[in-house]
Homo-oligomer: A and B are copies of this chain.
């Protein structure tokens, strides 16, 4: 080999090695980057709910060393807060972050995977999802829609709401105008109340001007910024959403394109983001409740009297019976939840409940 040829070969060889090293310098360069678009129901920078999607996306990107890039579009961008289910089903978005009970008009059995009046608390419900058959039932419901659904973050026990007047009897519910959407609204309607839904931006004024008599939102974690404690004296403890679990959704075709390691990264990042949101909500509730009480020491925390609770529970049971009678899968889910709650509630009562009551 003459010197010129050697130099030429050496240069080419070096170029090949350099190119190879460049490809290997990080998996982000070496391997396919998967871009996923996620649409969330919440406005931009919405606290806690919006933190859950940010937390999820950051964990997934870091764990995959940049091989997963997740773009989160808030409702300010996609303009369809309650269109998430359709957008994920059609593949317009790969993923969604919302709440399963919003889709009961599209499939009545999606109702059961958020929270139910007089249902399970957060640890009880996570037990049902992960060890008591809940995930399998959710898959059964979502399968036909070409969507996978996962727990997406728990608010903890939601407060019963802000009331201008005390509720002392079932009669006090007659004609009560209350912002309370969903299944809980149906329960109250059976007892003579007038549930309405009003956009978030108009709630404060409606309650202040007595266009409505009461409203429920979430609890101290998100109620503080809404300012309701400044204009309504009674804050009732919860009955209708004991463990509101948000939802991550993934389009199945988008899911099936991913390699196994990235599927596992998404699965674990969603589960962690959901648990984290439960703990963040718990934290924010304690903090914000202290702030509310400091600013307005006269907030009166009330629990509905037993007569009212009994009537609501009865109305709730009747509505569930109607659903169970209409659809075998609904019956299967309702029975599974009732059986699971019976066992786990006894434990709740002799563990945390007995502990706190005994002090």
Contacts and interface: CB of A to CB of B under 8 A. Distances in A.
Contact of A313 (B9, B237, B344, B359): B359
A63 interface: yes
A22 to B, nearest CB: 10
Nearest to A353: B356
Interface string A256-289: 0001110011001101100110111011011101
Nearest to A27: B27
A62 B220 contact: no
Given A121-B356, A131-B279, A220-B347, 19 more contacts: A23-B24, A24-B30, A24-B31, A30-B30, A62-B260, A64-B261, A121-B352, A122-B123, A123-B156, A123-B278, A123-B279, A124-B282, A127-B283, A130-B283, A131-B283, A285-B347, A289-B346, A289-B350, A313-B359
Contacts of A118: 359
A68 to B, nearest CB: 11
A26 to B, nearest CB: 9
A45 interface: no
Contacts of A24: 23-24, 30-31
A290 B31 contact: no
Interface string A295-330: 000000101101001000100000000000000000
A41 interface: no
Given A272-B275, A282-B124, A20 B16 contact: yes
A3 interface: no
A106 interface: no
Q: Which 4 A-B pairs have the closest CB atoms?
A: A16-B16, A157-B351, A237-B354, A65-B261
| Residue among A17, A23, A237 with most chain B CB within 10 A | A237
A89 B132 CA distance: 39
20 contacts: A20-B20, A62-B261, A62-B264, A63-B261, A63-B265, A64-B261, A65-B260, A121-B355, A122-B123, A127-B286, A130-B276, A157-B351, A268-B268, A275-B275, A283-B344, A286-B344, A290-B346, A345-B356, A349-B356, A352-B352
A171 B12 CA distance: 90
A54 B17 CA distance: 39
Contacts of A285: 344, 347, 351
Interface string A237-265: 11100100000000000000001110011
B12 A358 contact: no
A317 to B, nearest CB: 13
A110 interface: no
Contact of A359 (B63, B131, B219, B309): B309
B63 A355 contact: no
A222 B289 CA distance: 36
Interface of A: 9, 12-13, 16-17, 19-20, 23-24, 27, 30-31, 59, 62-65, 118, 121-124, 126-127, 130-132, 156-157, 159, 219-220, 237-239, 242, 259-261, 264-265, 268-269, 271-272, 275-276, 278-280, 282-283, 285-287, 289-290, 301, 303-304, 306, 309, 313, 340, 343-359
Contacts of A126: 279, 282
